[in-house]
Amino acid sequence: MSLKKQLKYIIRRVLSIPVRRKVTAASNVVFYSGVKVYNLLNNPDKIVIGDQSHINGELHVFGFGGEIRIGKRCYIGEGTRIWSGNRIIIGNDVLISHNVNIMDTNSHEINHLERAAGFLNIITDGHPKEAANVNTAPIIIGDNAWINFNSIILKGVTIGEGAIIAAGSVVTKNVPAFALVGGSPAKIIKYVN
């Protein structure tokens, strides 16, 4: 390895120390300079990242719960935000492009009075440890899936192995393995190998 590559590696490792304290990550996970981690449970085991993954987005675990599991050899693109109040499982070899939002929660209450009070509490007291009326449901993304830029994956969705989500899609329902889906809401366009 050249001296330039060695220096780059050392600098990247030193800059990633604050991030690594908030997650459980393999030693060869790469965190890019724009990475942000909001682990409001202050439990590194709530965000687990597998070998050789590259993280260039934001990972959020809410104070009222949540868990993010990212498999091996995954890429999380710049500007992507993964928000968990329940559980998000991302398989191995998953490519998530830039500016994708993955949310397993509504984040706020549906009732307007509860939502206003909840938002005020966040501003004044920080994120709550409990959120009784916030809807959540787990998200599972299968191995070898590809989620293109500016897509949104909503709570309760399972994306099958090898599935492709077209750019700008809003995924509200399960996606079968090896399906190419697109649109808002996303619909099956065709199947791929």
Q: Residue 88: which CATH number?
A: 2.160.10.10
Structural domains counted in the chain: 1
Could you read off the pLDDT of 145-158 as tens digits, one per residue? 999 999 999 999 99
Per the model's pLDDT, the better-predicted residue between 131 and 23 turns out to be: 23
Is 108 a residue of the active site? yes
Range of the domain at 82: 3-191
What is the DSSP code (8-state) at residue 23? Answer: S
* pLDDT recorded at residue 8: 64
How much is the average pLDDT of 79-89? 95
- Choosing from 98, 108, 112, 127, the catalytic residue is 108
pTM of structure = 0.86
Could you read off the pLDDT of 18-31 as tens digits, one per residue? 788 889 999 899 99
Distance, CA of 34 to CA of 123 (rounded, Å): 25
